[in-house]
Chains A and B, each alone.
Chain A
Amino acid sequence: MFEYAPAPESRSVVDIKASSGLFINGEFVDPADGGSFKSINPASEEVLAEVAEGGAQDVDRAVRAARKAYEKVWGPMPGRDRAKYLFRIARIIQERSRELAVLESLDNGKPIRESRDVDLPLVAAHFFYYAGWADKLPYAGFGANPRPLGVAAQVIPWNFPLLMLAWKIAPALAAGNTVVLKPAETTPLTASLFAEICQQADLPAGVVNIVTGAGETGRALVEHADVDKVAFTGSTDVGRAIARAVAGSRKKLTLELGGKAANIVFDDAPVDQAVEGIVNGIFFNQGHVCCAGSRLLIQESVAEQVLESLKRRMAQLRLGDPLDKNTDIGAINSAAQLSRIRELTTAGAAEGAQQWSPPCELPERGFWFAPTIFTGVTQAHRIAREEIFGPVLSVLTFRTPAEAVEKANNTPYGLSAGIWTEKGSRILWMADRLRAGVVWANTFNKFDPTSPFGGYKESGYGREGGRHGLEAYLNV
């Protein structure tokens, strides 16, 4: 591999506060019981900040603030004015994008190239997109006068902290709801910075409330009697628990859960393009992607050739400092996630699959996992069935398109799928049969605010993005 000199993005662009409070009713406040936890940089294990841990009382306070803001300010406000606040937020995000990107990479471990070029542009674009809907709701196809639901409880994961926040908050606010959002406990910092952006935008108090904390905080929020809507992105197990918790209530629920996507390569696919797509599909964001192409299905006749190219390409991936602009693979988000990845890869080897990684030096401190592929994987192996949520690819083969469909759909998940072939009719034939909410043909891991995203089966229900994304926050 070429030796590159280090090219780190400067940390000085962001001023990380030593401690961060809860954002309730427009102000940063201390939690009622004074609890806190530490957010660390997963690439160095350095403590970045002491973060307030919200308890049931804090959640209650936040929900009451959101209710009041909904009834007195945000609900009655004309759509065109809500739109202007959202446009303001979008603009401030663009203006402060480098600061946000650096903070995201520090707190999450993702390469700056991704936080800067993918996450942040999409975050701003999402607010722009939904800002424009705020005064056009009667034209969205949900009747002449679609109404907001009220107070939305939103719980988001750690893999795209700010982007998931945008996916949740932008459509909710555009539709006229107010929100209480809980970021993930390992990545709360950009949400707190977003709270400052709300202040800078003069967003009325209580419209956005951010309560940091872990699972118990999320549970208190989801189970609060005065929320009208619950939106969750995260694991299928927690999604199931939330579906049970809201059973019999009035709360409208949308869930964006796990995945085990098949990325299907046919024998006529251009190999180099397909290999780029495979690498992007599984190693983007260290594989911490619910729609990652974690099961590679290669047509048998080209399997050897594709694998050879894939291995050659993987040997070029640079793993290391997330703030280095040349880094392709950053840090695993937490010790807990690293041990989960290790557990599943150990099971993969024990069940008889062959493990391979390129020569790859891992930094001494922090949480790291080398890009890995398993060959000789069967459909019964745990690494073919369970979501690993790491840079680990399970490779299977197939002979006919029908077998590819059969194997691709042989999972309780149904979030995404990939197809690589030069034959248009085969793409459409496959796309019709794959039980997945997003199908990428000759591309992978593309996102856009106008494009609905969400799963079939146990990958959840409801869509985020596009006109469809409004439905989750309207009384329709």
Chain B
Amino acid sequence: MSERVAVRKTYKLFVGGKFPRSESGRSYLVQDSNVSLASRKDARDAVVAARAAVKGWAGATAYNRGQILYRVAEMLEGRREQFVALGVPGDEVDAATDRWVWYAGWSDKLPQVYGGANPVAGPYFNLSAPEPTGVVAVVAPEAPALLGLVSVIAPAIVTGNTVVVAASPTAPLAAVTLAEVLATSDLPGGVVNILTGRLSETVPTLAAHMDVNAIDLTGVTDAELAADMEVKAAENLKRVLRPVSAGHDWSADPGLGRMTALLETKTVWHPKGV
């Protein structure tokens, strides 16, 4: 009896809830698999998809967003072995799953912790509430492949932002596999878009894009490139998260910083009277 011939997976981009190949028709080899090599055009298309998803996602109730993030954790738990097969340590998959659960719970709590009533000196109702900034470009850390990726996506989207993620060029398989988790978690298409390939192609396009509201440079290890991206981001005054220092501990308590850096605070005034 002959051994069964395996059905191999094609690793593609994740844009607008679909899995297209790069429009450039290019790929590169990682761990014996051909992975899409995203072009500048793919980056622009991903921004269009992310922008289209903002209204529905930012407008969804916090409860609903929390439910969906928790659903992501459920799906990830079920696919643990797939990530292990790609070389992601089991503990890392567990930590990544737990991180989704942690952030899921923040969706309807952060506005209470980070906003609130202000006791102004006059007869006014005055309330500050956080709102998502909009479309966020994210450069995922090179490693750890899964926990690092989840640790930059979850805080951005839990508050209602949508993201275009430049995945780690050396560890794209975990990123594409995570996209399959996201695609089966009731996450609306376009909320998370994942580009694989060279950072030098996609990131400058995202940093300079006038319809991107913020950029998270976490995974940019080249200081000169990071500074250059920050200069590009200044054109439309993107909110910038600077790269983390080498040796960053991704298993530590992440705090609120990654969420709050991608929020706007809106303050509403109204007179009190009869």
Contacts and interface: CB of A to CB of B under 8 A. Distances in A.
Given A247-B230, A458-B236, A466-B118, A451 B270 contact: no
B269 A443 contact: yes
B119 to A, nearest CB: 6
Contacts of B120: 446, 448, 450-451
Given A240-B235, A412-B236, A451 B227 contact: no
B237 A442 contact: no
A446 B270 CA distance: 10
B172 to A, nearest CB: 27
Nearest to B133: A456
A461 B241 CA distance: 12
Nearest to A143: B255
A31 to B, nearest CB: 30
Nearest to B114: A141
A26 B266 CA distance: 38
A439 B266 contact: yes
Interface in B223-244: 223-224, 226-228, 230-231, 233-237, 239
Given A442-B270, A451-B120, A468 B223 contact: no
B264 interface: yes
Interface stretch (B60-68, B121-129, B148-156, B161-169): B121-129
A441 B114 CA distance: 22
A97 interface: no
Contact of A451 (B114, B228, B269): B269
B82 interface: no
A446 B268 contact: no
Interface in A420-476: 427, 431, 436-443, 446, 448, 450-454, 456-458, 460-461, 463, 466, 468, 471, 476
B118 to A, nearest CB: 4
A441 B239 contact: no
A412 B213 CA distance: 11
Interface residues of B, number: 36
Contacts of A239: 237
Contacts of A451: 118, 120, 126, 128, 267, 269
Contact of A461 (B114, B237, B268): B237
A149 interface: no
A176 to B, nearest CB: 19
A40 interface: no
Contacts of A476: 257
Interface residues of A, number: 40
A244 B231 CA distance: 5
A312 B262 CA distance: 45
Which of A244, A412, A453 has its CB near the most chain B CB atoms (within 10 A)? A244
25 contacts: A125-B121, A239-B237, A243-B234, A247-B227, A247-B228, A247-B234, A248-B224, A436-B266, A437-B265, A437-B267, A438-B267, A439-B268, A441-B269, A442-B270, A443-B271, A446-B269, A450-B119, A450-B120, A450-B121, A451-B128, A456-B133, A458-B236, A463-B265, A468-B265, A476-B257
Interface of A: 125, 141, 143, 236, 239-240, 243-244, 247-248, 255, 257, 412, 427, 431, 436-443, 446, 448, 450-454, 456-458, 460-461, 463, 466, 468, 471, 476
Given A443-B124, A476-B257, 5 more contacts: A243-B234, A255-B237, A412-B236, A451-B128, A466-B118
Interface of B: 113-114, 118-122, 124, 126, 128, 133, 213, 223-224, 226-228, 230-231, 233-237, 239, 255, 257, 260, 264-271
